[in-house]
Homo-oligomer: A and B are copies of this chain.
Amino acid sequence: MPDPKAFLLKGTLDLLILKALTLGPRHGYGVARWLEESSRDLLRIEEGSLYPALYRMEDKGWIRSEWGMSETNRKAKYYAITTQGRTQLEQEATGWERLVEAVSLVLQVQGG
């Protein structure tokens, strides 16, 4: 039986994180939880992928971070999407849709 969780294809994580942050600032752990919930548990976000991704994205100026306290009274680094990040999100969403369309066209061809 195949894995119940979808594998994350390389290149989708940034898009998902950016989307998560459009709803307001979130800490890393919260981003992971939110992505799993909003995908109805289809996605699993590994922390070893998540945190490096957040650093990369902050370096690129797509998000910025600030330390704060979580709802459960713990130290947490909150990330917010920047204007640049919103532009990036739009581009990645467009690219994603294009890829989905392309793969869909290929898979629809008859004759298998």
Identify the A interface with B (CB < 8 A). 2, 6-12, 15-16, 19-20, 22-24, 35, 38-40, 42-43, 91, 93-96, 98-103, 105-107, 109, 111-112
CB distance from A55 to the nearest CB of B (A): 20
Assess the B112–A39 pair: CB atoms within 8 A: no
CB distance from A36 to the nearest CB of B (A): 10
Assess the B105–A42 pair: CB atoms within 8 A: yes
Q: Which among A99, A106, A111 has the highest number of chain B CB atoms within 10 Å? A: A106
Assess the A35–B96 pair: CB atoms within 8 A: no
Choose one: B38, B93, B96; the contact of A109 (CB below 8 Å). Answer: B38
Assess the A106–B39 pair: CB atoms within 8 A: yes
